[in-house]
Amino acid sequence: MSHTTIATLMQMKKEGEKITMLTSYDASFTRVLEAAGVDSILVGDSLGMVIQGQESTLPVSVDDMVYHTRCVARGRRDALLIADMPFMSYSSADQALSTAGRLMKDGGAHMVKLEGGSMQLETVRQLTLNGIPVCAHLGLQPQSVHKLGGYRVQGKDEESAREIKEDAMALESAGAQMLVLECVPKALAAEISHLLTIPVIGIGAGVDCDGQVLVVYDMLGITSGRRPRFVKDFMPESGSVPAAVAAYVQAVKEKRFPTEEHSFQ
């Protein structure tokens, strides 16, 4: 059986094949995602909101992440498994090494994701030197929601767009092997995807990223509260969970999702 690795996703970027990613938090959903051929699965700290019912991702603990990553790993067959490092679990390079070590050794993750730009460069370097693949996360960083004053589109003015671009390039140079770009204007995401050699996975970042990610509950229409602009509910056109996930995969591969309606200018 072939397994999807970071090298596989790099090759897909080179060949212009779109990469599909969805979140999962348990073994059963993971099996559905696998059956639909999702390329990579993210155990997001969004679990704080969609599983635990918290108001933000901030209360999620390393133990929570390890538990859910282990559940997902049991249902995984082929997809690359990425786990989020939760808020305040990577405040120093040493702490990041310990958190990432747990997510990989106890949880079974293949890669860890962390939020932040230039302040994370040394941490990314240390993780990479220790054989831990890193996915960076720029644009809207939900762990900084209180600093940002809400869940807002980032990089709308020239200065903040330049900062995101410079951070993206610096993170790649520090060793990051993937980048999630959340809620940034479509043109900025397209430019960053073109500039970087590593795969850039967008959420609310337009169709020109190398791949797309959504929170699985959002694309099944069970978002609590207001549905963000970048989310599409695939359930009405599909009728079942497996069919909705398959429709998402096909729409991303065929560049039919996201449309302008799901993007920011």
Would you please indicate which residues are annotated as catalytic (active-site) residues? 182
- Residue 44 sits in the site that holds ligand KIV (CB under 6 A): yes
For the packed helices 121-129 and 93-105, what is the interaxial angle rounded to 10 degrees? Answer: 50
Segment contacting ligand KIV (CB under 6 A): 37-45, 95-103, 118-126, 164-172?
37-45
Q: Determine which residue in the list 6, 181, 213, 251 makes contact with ligand KIV, applying CB under 6 A.
A: 213
The DSSP secondary structure of 90-130, one letter per residue, reads: -SSHHHHHHHHHHHHHTT--SEEEEE-SGGGHHHHHHHHHT
Single-letter amino acid code for the residue at 63:
D
Q: Which residues pair with 148 in a beta bridge?
A: none
Per-residue binding string, ligand KIV, 185-204, x by CB under 6 A, is ------------------x-
How many angstroms separate the CA atoms of 183 and 211, rounded? 14
Query: Please, which residue, 44 or 108, has the CB nearer to ligand KIV?
Result: 44
- Residue 23 sits in the site that holds ligand KIV (CB under 6 A): yes
Segment contacting ligand KIV (CB under 6 A): 42-50, 185-193, 225-233, 244-252?
42-50
User: Which residue's Cβ lies closest to ligand KIV?
Assistant: 44
Q: Determine which residue in the list 64, 84, 167, 210 makes contact with ligand KIV, applying CB under 6 A.
A: 84
> What pairing do the DSSP bridges indicate for beta strands 111-115 and 19-23?
unpaired
How many angstroms separate the CA atoms of 155 and 98, rounded? 32
Interior angle at CA 139, CA 51 and CA 67, nearest 5: 25
Nearest distance in Å: CB 131, ligand KIV: 23
Catalog residues that contact ligand KIV under the rule CB under 6 A: 23, 42, 44-46, 84, 180, 182, 203, 213, 215
